[in-house]
């Protein structure tokens, strides 16, 4: 887990920018405070910030490697962890007689690249952002992991191509590359609609993200060539339609046990986050088998109904782990937001990232790595909204030509009338009504707050290409597939990576393992949404692993009382001040946002998610565009218990 930066010059002047690369690395010191390294040629300069986890005394980066005839042909920088690196080394030795100078997980990547080329990524089991410079071919290979756990930004300009783990570091070098950094109003509209900026976009026109499951080649003076190598599929073939019952549950258990075992590989202490739900609990319970002194960490608020502290403590006692709790006050919550948004690079309007920041900070006082339960909902069907196709099944019998009339009928019904919402949703195709878990702004509300609103930039601008890939699948599988490309990598994994790395803490997600996915993707929808619950097969598979009190609990995660705080003394005046001081008038109708805040305070409408979305953007704009808000970033020094 580290931070990398690369400057590929189109004019053969890369080494002239070595000091600029060093300065850009300072922006992501938090990603790798243990070591700093640079290396360059006239074509390319690499910079690397290391967080040492495996082979701590060696495996320094940038890492030079080559075959006997060209011993320094390749240079590797790599952010992430390869959990099957031991098996991969053994395979490379057996097949090619490969020799290794380190015991780390980086060297097998570059050795594998030499023998397999870009197909090396398909051999990797882990999370990664990889960059390899080939001095013979004079080309830069860049790759990102299957699900998008680790970030990778790309800026292609007329003078240079910049790659990096953090957008702010890439932006530091954008002037050298000749990249346009003005605000992308299309990406802004997508953000307001979805509450995150979808891949491959960022809020700056010239900086993009390498998409999950994708690799690319860049050569001096040429545009990049992008290839998607991972095509996640939930389509259940006829021979797998009966993949139910005890054999299927055993496959899930085996896959999870193996994944957690490999995710525990480290030369430093590994802990685990623990909320009140089954996802983090099963990960912690399995991790406990590999570390009897496992520590778990949770967070919450003093307000009743917005804390899982008691349930998490009960779970910790049941599985026999040492447990640490952090309670977050409203004052701490508000004070930390500018710093958190600076670390995020982009606004993500998910209040849960604030308690995540505090629990990560607390965990880093004790450990250097934590496991967490992200990805279980997308793989095994855990979101309540996935039940919607069951309730709307009768509408599937209505001819498509008649559905618009149902929509018109629902529009005539009084607000709040029972059945109005069901009728409206039943009148729509899945592609029209579902665009992920962040569903707070209607199109009319988006139009009311943005100056440059375009109807063609609605949610279907993002989701339509994804839906085309799942035609013919059952509705639940299509919703899961959509969330893999939108909600998971746009919200869940962004906050998981950026907020833990803000505290120099490595977060590992055993559910998002390609072997676990290969099991989950074969489950029919009856093993996901069934018997009145979600994640049915997963619940059955782990029934003997997690304590009974969490097995059937409703998912909460780290709930945040923003609805109450924005209407009360805790955050209302703070929010009004953010809106009033923001210099976003050319982009946002601030009066419309203030009207939402007033309605929310009066209790006539719950605008909390919409208000939060706009506040996060305004704070981002104040930090990165106006340069008016100072997030007061300080270097942190954490003791580590080995």
Q: Binding site for ATP: which residues?
A: 372-373
Q: How many C-beta atoms lie closer than 10 Å to residue 293's C-beta?
A: 10
- Rounded distance between C-alpha atoms, residue 2 and residue 450, angstroms: 37
Exposure b/e, 457-482, CB count within 10 A at least 16 = b: bbbebbbeebbeebeebbbbbbbbbb
Token pair of 2 as six digits = 């580290």
Residue 623 CA neighbour count, 13 Å, CB half:
22
Q: Using the 8-state DSSP alphabet, how is residue 83 labeled?
A: T
Strand pairing category for 153-156 and 270-273? unpaired
Residue 624 and residue 496: Cα distance in Å, rounded? 21
What is the rounded distance in angstroms from the CA atom of residue 499 to the CA atom of residue 357? 5
Residues 6+ apart with CB under 8 A from 41: 14, 15, 133, 135
Are the CB atoms for 494 and 196 separated by under 8 Å? yes
Q: Which helix (H) or strand (E) holds 313?
A: helix 309-319
Paired residues of 8 in beta bridges: 44, 161
According to DSSP, the residues that pair with 322 across neighbouring strands are 295
Paired with 227 in beta bridges are 215
Q: Are 617 and 188 in contact (CB under 8 A)?
A: yes
**Whether residue 2 lies in the annotated active site:** yes
The Cα–Cα gap between 215 and 218 comes to 10
- Nearest CA to 153 out of 201, 186, 196, 224 is that of 201
Number of Cβ atoms within 10 Å of the Cβ of 396: 10
- Which of 193, 278, 271 has its CA nearest to residue 542? 278
- Give the tokens for residue 318: 């049941």
Alpha helices in 509-607 (DSSP H): 514-520, 536-541, 548-551, 562-567, 572-581, 590-602
Q: What's the gap between Cα 405 and its chain centre? A: 39
Active site amino acids: 2
């Amino acid at each position: 887990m580290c931070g990398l930066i690369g400057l590929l010059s189109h004019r053969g002047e890369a080494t002239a920018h070595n000091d600029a690369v060093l300065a850009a690395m300072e922006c992501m010191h938090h990603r790798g405070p243990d070591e700093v390294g640079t290396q360059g040629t006239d074509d390319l300069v690499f910079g690397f910030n290391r967080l040492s986890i495996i082979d701590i005394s060696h495996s320094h980066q940038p890492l030079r490697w080559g075959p006997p005839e060209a011993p320094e042909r390749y240079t590797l920088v790599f952010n992430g962890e390869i959990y099957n690196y031991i098996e991969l080394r053994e395979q490379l030795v057996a097949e090619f007689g490969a020799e290794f100078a380190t015991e780390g997980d980086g060297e097998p990547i570059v050795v594998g690249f030499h023998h397999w080329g870009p197909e090396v990524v398909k051999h990797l089991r882990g999370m990664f952002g990889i960059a390899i410079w080939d001095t013979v071919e004079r080309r830069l290979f860049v790759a990102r992991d299957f699900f998008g756990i680790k970030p990778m930004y790309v800026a292609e300009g007329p003078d240079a191509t910049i790659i990096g783990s953090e957008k702010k570091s890439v932006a530091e070098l954008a002037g050298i590359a000749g990249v346009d950094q003005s605000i992308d109003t299309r990406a802004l509209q997508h953000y307001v609609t979805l509450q995150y900026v979808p891949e491959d976009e960022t809020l700056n026109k010239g900086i993009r993200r390498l998409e999950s499951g994708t690799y690319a080649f860049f050569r001096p003076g040429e545009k990049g060539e992008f290839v998607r190598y991972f095509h996640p599929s939930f389509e259940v073939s006829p021979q797998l339609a009966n993949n139910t019952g005890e054999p299927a549950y055993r496959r899930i258990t085996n896959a999870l046990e193996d994944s957690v075992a490999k995710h525990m590989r480290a030369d430093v202490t590994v802990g685990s986050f623990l909320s009140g739900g089954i996802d983090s609990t099963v990960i912690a319970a399995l991790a406990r088998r590999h570390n009897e002194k496992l520590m778990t960490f949770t967070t919450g608020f003093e307000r009743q109904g917005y804390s899982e502290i008691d349930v998490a403590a009960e779970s910790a006692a049941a599985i026999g782990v040492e447990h640490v709790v952090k309670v977050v006050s409203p004052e701490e919550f508000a004070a930390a937001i500018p710093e958190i948004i600076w670390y995020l690079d982009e606004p993500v309007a998910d209040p849960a990232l604030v308690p995540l920041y505090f629990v990560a900070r607390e965990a880093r006082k004790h450990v250097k790595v934590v496991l967490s339960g992200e990805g279980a909902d997308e793989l095994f069907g855990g979101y309540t909204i996935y039940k919607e196709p069951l309730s709307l099944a009768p509408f599937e019998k209505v001819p498509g030509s008649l559905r618009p009339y149902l929509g018109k009928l629902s529009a005539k019904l009084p607000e709040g009338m029972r059945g109005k919402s069901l009728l409206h949703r039943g009148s729509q195709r899945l592609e029209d009504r579902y665009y992920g878990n962040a569903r707070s702004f209607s199109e009319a509300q988006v139009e009311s707050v943005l100056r440059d609103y375009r109807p063609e930039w609605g949610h279907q601008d993002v989701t339509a290409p994804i839906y085309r890939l799942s035609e013919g699948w059952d509705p639940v599988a299509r919703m899961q597939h959509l969330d893999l490309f939108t909600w998971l990598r746009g919200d869940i994994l962004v906050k998981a990576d950026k907020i833990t790395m803000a505290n120099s803490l490595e977060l590992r997600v055993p559910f998002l393992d390609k072997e676990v996915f290969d099991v989950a993707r074969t489950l029919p929808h009856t093993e996901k949404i069934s018997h009145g619950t979600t994640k049915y097969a997963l619940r059955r598979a782990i029934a003997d692993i997690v304590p009974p009190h969490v097995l059937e609990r409703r998912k909460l995660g780290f709930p945040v009382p923003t609805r109450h705080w924005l209407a009360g003394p805790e955050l209302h005046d703070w929010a009004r001040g953010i809106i009033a001081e923001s210099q976003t008038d050319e982009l946002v109708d601030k009066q419309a946002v203030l009207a939402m805040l007033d309605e929310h305070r009066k209790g006539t409408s719950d605008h909390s998610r919409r208000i939060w979305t706009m506040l996060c953007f305004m704070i981002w704009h104040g930090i990165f565009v106006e340069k008016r808000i100072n997030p007061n970033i300080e270097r942190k020094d954490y003791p580590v218990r080995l």
